[in-house]
Structure 1
Amino acid sequence: MADGVLGLGSSGSSDLNSELIAKLKAADSTSILDPIKTEEEDTQTEIDAVNKIQSMVTEFLDLAKDFDLFTSGTNIFDKISASTSGSSVNFDATDTSNLEPGTISVNVTQLAQKDVYQSNTITDKTSTMDSGTISVSIGDNTYDFSTDGKTYEALVSEMNNYPELSAALEQVGDSSYRMVVKSAESGLSNALTITQTGVDIGLEDTNNHVLKAQNMNASIDGIDYDLSSNKVTMQNGLIIKAVSEGTSTITMERDDSSITTSINNLADKYNDLVDLVNSYILGDADNPAVISDSSTLKTMMSDIKNILFDSYGLDNEENMFKYGISFDSSGYMQIDDSELSKALTNNYENLKELFVGRAEKEGIGTRLKTYLDSLDSLDGGLLSTYSDKLTNRLDTLNSDYQTASDKLDEKYNQMTEQFASYTVLITQMENDFSSLKSVIDGSSSSDS
């Protein structure tokens, strides 16, 4: 007689049944889950690729901003490098767009300074002062300070409540102090007049008027200046600060080297972007393309090329090819630095028209910045839309995988339970058969 019943195995075959179920489940998993898993991995790889492209586009955008007409700062063509000879002044400019190349001659004959008074020496700054009044006048204002029952420290604190005044107790010896009263700002308009009534701490002594308020006197390109501050802000935005008496020359030059560097950096990053995009959309039999739908990236690169290849200037008379910028057969941008240098020397305004443009006709950099900015726009940006589509696809695949996995688990859990119930039934049948066989065998023995 064959072992087992109906091919389901005998009562001792549970291990064999479990092994069979595991093999069946593995086969189902290979045919159902593995394709989803592979698509998940491919989609994640594609998402990673798009993220890298978005990062490089951002780097490209940052370089394009140097040529943006509407930048919040200063575009690269309007930047001026400046240097100074002499040590009488420092300079600065928050916006160099209005500066012109050239030199500025400065002759400082007097620095502006504050009005400064000191008291006689004080041995105990916490002691109570004699009763009286100290009056301090500055401009149209007079401030009266009562000394009744006050310490020197309290008086100093009260004076500092007024923004035009600056008071302090300075230690001038191992055990001696002076009260110092200054105008908060320099210049004749901030001169102090101090009087004492009923109290005398030396503030009216001539020798204790240690620094007298005065204006800065300077000549800048032959123009005389008489100002309360040591800082002069020119109409073109240049800020000149006098630091000592003497003559200095400020030389301002166009920063042609920075322009050349910025154009080369822009070209290099464009070429990097070409390489990166091609590495993801061009595949072969051995290395299939990472990007499943290359049309989005091809559209992006085509749009960028159209911007670079276009004509600019009010009469469309300007293009890259006039100034040593070209593209090779592989689509890489190439810069002839010699030709570009000549263009900066001989056709500076035309080159600026090409890259920056004007409100009536934007240049390459301005258009490029606007376009690259739009790629990641939340409102229908080319790259952001594609990235969202991939993310949604991955979410769907994750859900499909989980659903399919749950169904397989449910299917084979039921199968395991069925095999277990079959084993119980088979065991019962085997026991019944064994009992019947014993009866038959016993009967046969009796007949013998």
Structure 2
Amino acid sequence: MADAISSTTSSPKGIMGLGSSGSVNLNDELIEKLKAADKAAQVDPITKRVEKNTMRVDDLAALKTLITNVNKSFSALNNEALYQKRKVNSVGESATVTAASGVSLQDLNLDIKQLAQRDSFQSEKFKSQSDIIGATQAGSFKIGIRGVSYEINVQESTTLQDLSDKINEVAGGDVQARIINVGGDKPYQLIFQSRSTGESQKITFSDDTSGVLAKLGWDDGTTDLLDEDGKQVLNEDGTKKTITNLEKNRLTTASDAKFTYNGLEITRDKNTIDDLRPGITVTLKETGKSSFGIVQDTNDIVKNLESMVASYNTLLTNLNISTSFDEKSGDSGAFQGVSEITTIRTKLNQLLTSQDKLGRSIDQYGISMGEDGQISFDASTLSAKLNADADDVKDFFMGSTTYDVLTYTGKQVTTGSLEFVKGDLNINGISVTLEKTDANATAKENAMALLRAINNANIPGVFASLSKDEQTLVLKTTDGTEVEIKGKDSVLSKFGLEQISLMPTENKNSGIFANLNNFASDLVIDTPDKKGSLTLYENRLNEEDKKLNDEKERIETSLNQKYETMRERWILYSQVITKMEKQFSALKTMIEYEIGNKNK
């Protein structure tokens, strides 16, 4: 018995470690180790997938930004406004010319004979702006311009400043008065001029009842005419030449601008002229000749191509890295094997290197592609192309749309009295009316009357003519305009017409940057009606990210609950074991005591 008891108490672990100082303790450290093992097996793989997915989401956002950047250049090179820009080359300084976008390329030769001027005068000099001008009595005088008469009232106390203010108040819409300090003992003069230029702006002074015009030097009194050196100017007969006070104080004479434009004599009442050709503004500066060439401004085309090349090469580098795979190391890019990404490079390469239906390719326009797919740009090659045929560059870059000539030929017009009232004939929604023709009118006469009626209706894009025998109407369009004829059948038939709707044949040539722009836009588009391939892929990544995080959260919650339950149970176990250990310890003491008594 003693041996059996001794064997039990000397066990290294005992029953669940009972009574053993070296027992396995049911503590938090052990629980955490078990929990960590479960987490490594169940949570860590999901965490790695989340991290990889997050990296793809970030890399995709960067890739979409690069595509958007290069697409800005594609879009700019596919924008007609880029090819409509103009600049003006000039020789000579007698004028300047500006040209709006889209103006036809052309040369202008100008020979300025005379500038448009205002009528302007200076007054006699005064010591001060507040000097009384010297009216002999209260009265008034009249200013005449453009057939309009303005009455200026003057008092004996009127000062130079008062007069200036009064003129501007009464006649300021047509004339201007201002005081200028010219220096000297009497430095102040009143400068008076028409607001506008041109012969029609001639100024007259009349009906002076105040005597003020003589004080200003604007009257009809005469004085000797002196030259620049102060010497008397003589007439041909040797008598003294005189001049009125008004003309002596004249600064400029109202006059029209006179010049030749490409040999054609032109007169205008101003020096800035914008009605010679639509979109062209000419500003006359001085007499003399100048020549101008309105040419295409190619600077922005070159800049956009340079920007496109830089953005494209950056995008290509990113695509190469993100889709790469190293067979030796086994390393791969974030999008290696992702078809939505790997096909982008292939498609871009295909679009850039393909020839259009006319056999044109990018290398003919200064853009070349290396073996690594990177592109380069030679501005001189493009400039030569632009100088030789700018329309060809535009057509290759952004494409064009042309239309076949649409022709509608009616039947022979009938003879006799015919007419159209409102609603009998409508072409493209425009009503054509025709007064009744003569009862004896021939088919040709009625056809001619119909032709005039249609032309008078001014139908946009529609050209009307007659057949060779001049008895049948022919309608044509060349710009894509359709032809729609509607009306009263009984009336139309008499003119050889019928109700019909015709559409011209459209011929589209898609330019290289139009194709690239469409492709890049389709990759990233995100509208309720359409999602690009990268947008859809991004949505899938975001959905996967949510699923992974939800699964990770679920497993972590489950593990936390599992080990929290285990901890609670182990606490109970520990309490039971502690109680048992105490009981066993007491029993052991009693047994040892009894054994001790027996051995005495």
Normalised to the residue count of structure 2, the TM-score between the two structures is 0.55
1:90 corresponds to 2:96: yes
Counterpart CA distance in 2 for 1:437 and 1:199 is: 148
Tell me how far 1:99 sits from its aligned partner.
2.4
Which structure 2 residues correspond to residues 141-156 of structure 1 after superposition, within 5 A?
Answer: none
Task: Tell me, yes or no, if the aligned pair for 2:17 and 2:24 is still in contact at 8 Å.
Answer: no
User: Which residue of 2 is the match for residue 381 of structure 1?
Assistant: 532
Tell me how far 1:358 sits from its aligned partner.
1.4
- Larger deviation, residues 389-398 vs 319-328: 319-328
Per-residue CA deviations over 1:73-129 (Å, capped at 9, x if unaligned) read 232xx54443323333333333045224xx42333444445677899976579xxxx
Which structure 2 residues correspond to residues 248-263 of structure 1 after superposition, within 5 A?
Answer: 248-254=290-296
1:58 corresponds to 2:206: no
Per-residue CA deviations over 1:308-352 (Å, capped at 9, x if unaligned) read 35553xxx2232178376655554556788876765566655444
- Secondary structure of the 2:27 match is helix
- Secondary structure of the 1:317 match is coil
CA 240–25 in structure 1, closer or farther in 2 if over 3 Å, else same = farther
1:99 corresponds to 2:99: no
Which structure 2 residues correspond to residues 354-365 of structure 1 after superposition, within 5 A?
Answer: 354-359=396-401, 360=507, 361-365=509-513
Structure with more helix by fraction: 1
Partner amino acid, structure 2, of 1:59: N
Q: Name structure 1 gaps, 5 residues minimum.
A: 126-130
- Secondary structure of the 2:292 match is strand
Sequence identity percentage: 24
Partner amino acid, structure 2, of 1:370: N
Task: Tell me, yes or no, if the aligned pair for 1:356 and 1:362 is still in contact at 8 Å.
Answer: yes
CA 106–22 in structure 1, closer or farther in 2 if over 3 Å, else same = farther
Counterpart CA distance in 1 for 2:596 and 2:149 is: 141
Question: Which of residues 197, 209, 222 is equivalent to 2:263?
Answer: 222
Question: Which of residues 341, 364, 376 is equivalent to 1:323?
Answer: 364
Counterpart CA distance in 2 for 1:159 and 1:95 is: 42
User: Which residue of 2 is the match for residue 33 of structure 1?
Assistant: 43
Counterpart CA distance in 2 for 1:183 and 1:12 is: 118
Higher relative contact order (CA 8 A, sep 6+): 1
- Secondary structure of the 1:82 match is strand
Task: Tell me, yes or no, if the aligned pair for 2:336 and 2:342 is still in contact at 8 Å.
Answer: no
Counterpart CA distance in 2 for 1:30 and 1:132 is: 111
Counterpart CA distance in 2 for 1:93 and 1:387 is: 47
Q: Which structure has the greater CA radius of gyration?
A: 2
User: How many residues are aligned here?
Assistant: 435
Per-residue CA deviations over 1:153-186 (Å, capped at 9, x if unaligned) read xx79x959x887888888889xx99998877665
Tell me how far 1:39 sits from its aligned partner.
2.2
- Secondary structure of the 2:68 match is helix
User: Which residue of 1 is the match for residue 352 of structure 2?
Assistant: 308
Counterpart CA distance in 1 for 2:516 and 2:203 is: 59
Which structure 2 residues correspond to residues 363-374 of structure 1 after superposition, within 5 A?
Answer: 363-374=511-522
Which structure 2 residues correspond to residues 41-440 of structure 1 after superposition, within 5 A?
Answer: 41-68=51-78, 70-71=79-80, 73-75=81-83, 78-96=84-102, 98-100=104-106, 103-112=107-116, 215-233=256-274, 234-235=276-277, 237-254=279-296, 266=308, 269-285=311-327, 286=329, 287-291=331-335, 294-312=338-356, 316-320=357-361, 323=364, 330-333=372-375, 349-359=391-401, 360=507, 361-378=509-526, 379-440=530-591
CA 365–182 in structure 1, closer or farther in 2 if over 3 Å, else same = farther
- Secondary structure of the 1:63 match is helix
Per-residue CA deviations over 1:1-21 (Å, capped at 9, x if unaligned) read 456863699999999722223
CA 420–260 in structure 1, closer or farther in 2 if over 3 Å, else same = same
Tell me how far 1:132 sits from its aligned partner.
9.7
- Secondary structure of the 1:98 match is coil
- Secondary structure of the 1:87 match is coil
CA 341–227 in structure 1, closer or farther in 2 if over 3 Å, else same = closer
CA 341–235 in structure 1, closer or farther in 2 if over 3 Å, else same = closer
CA 80–408 in structure 1, closer or farther in 2 if over 3 Å, else same = same
- Secondary structure of the 1:74 match is helix
Partner amino acid, structure 1, of 2:90: T
Partner amino acid, structure 1, of 2:351: I
- Secondary structure of the 1:323 match is helix
Partner amino acid, structure 1, of 2:400: R
- Secondary structure of the 1:31 match is helix
- Secondary structure of the 1:6 match is helix
Per-residue CA deviations over 1:196-228 (Å, capped at 9, x if unaligned) read 999989999569986766554443323344334
Task: Tell me, yes or no, if the aligned pair for 1:139 and 1:190 is still in contact at 8 Å.
Answer: yes
Tell me how far 1:277 sits from its aligned partner.
1.7
Counterpart CA distance in 2 for 1:193 and 1:5 is: 133
Counterpart CA distance in 1 for 2:99 and 2:182 is: 40
Counterpart CA distance in 2 for 1:442 and 1:194 is: 150
Tell me how far 1:398 sits from its aligned partner.
3.8
CA 320–3 in structure 1, closer or farther in 2 if over 3 Å, else same = same
Tell me how far 1:436 sits from its aligned partner.
4.4
Q: Name structure 2 gaps, 5 residues minimum.
A: 1-8, 132-137, 156-160, 219-245, 402-506
Counterpart CA distance in 1 for 2:113 and 2:577 is: 117
Tell me how far 1:437 sits from its aligned partner.
4.2
Task: Tell me, yes or no, if the aligned pair for 2:115 and 2:257 is still in contact at 8 Å.
Answer: yes
Normalised to the residue count of structure 1, the TM-score between the two structures is 0.70
Task: Tell me, yes or no, if the aligned pair for 1:11 and 1:427 is still in contact at 8 Å.
Answer: no
User: Which residue of 2 is the match for residue 21 of structure 1?
Assistant: 31
Tell me how far 1:28 sits from its aligned partner.
2.9
CA 24–217 in structure 1, closer or farther in 2 if over 3 Å, else same = farther
